[in-house]
Amino acid sequence: MKTKTALSAEKSFDCKVIAVANCKGGTGKSTTAINLGVGLADKGYRVLLVDNDPQGSMSLGLGIDNPDMLDYSLAPALVDMITGERVDPRKGILSHEEGVDLMPGNIELCGLEVELVEKGIKEALRKYLSFFKNDYAYIIIDCQPSLSQLTLNAFAAADSIIVPVQASYLPVKGLEQFISCKLQDINVHFLSNNNVQFLSSC
């Protein structure tokens, strides 16, 4: 993969932000996010994939052998934005041979989540992604398997949420947890994004 040093500003997109999430692990979230992104890229759309999971599954799936060894990833990018550091928001974005761009994630997101909780920061990811709305047609966020502060930040940024569900008991229970948590209530009380669409897929 190559570092993305510049993005074309020749065309403005009606950018759609999609979060892929489920409380249950192993339901195919990262696989869904990657394949959706690559499929859209094959159709000619510009796509940014965002690995918002400390496990770095999306990054691993796109060929980064050890995401934890990266010099720059999503966590420091968000920290720089929160603290007001004057850094190119495109720093750390990688170009992949499949035609998508990737902002990788790694274990540093665990430390960031503590800060998000302590400071009550709910829209860090939304503000960060706003820098790219004119550069991409789709931004796809891979979330960790929990309703964590990182996941809620992804929901605040998203226009829609895809919940991959396998036809077995535990993945369906993960979907039920989302429903029982009343995502609309989470939206109203914790987030400012009141227009997010909640989807599921098998």
DSSP track, the chain: -EE------SS----EEEEE--SSTTSSHHHHHHHHHHHHHHTT--EEEEEE-TT-HHHHHTT-S-GGG-SS-HHHHHHHHHHT----TTTT-EE-TTS-EEE---THHHHHHHHHHHHT---HHHHHHGGGTTT-SEEEEEEPSS--HHHHHHHHH-SEEEEE--SSHHHHHHHHHHHHTTHHHHHHHH-S---PEEEEE-
Taking the chain (202 residues) in consecutive chunks of 10 residues, what is each chunk's mean pLDDT?
A: 48 81 82 96 97 96 94 94 89 96 96 83 90 95 89 89 79 68 52 56 50
pLDDT tens sequence across 131-190 = 999 999 999 999 998 888 898 899 889 998 888 877 777 767 767 766 666 555 555 445
pTM to 2 decimals?
0.83
What domains does the chain contain, in order, with CATH numbers? 11-201 (3.40.50.300)
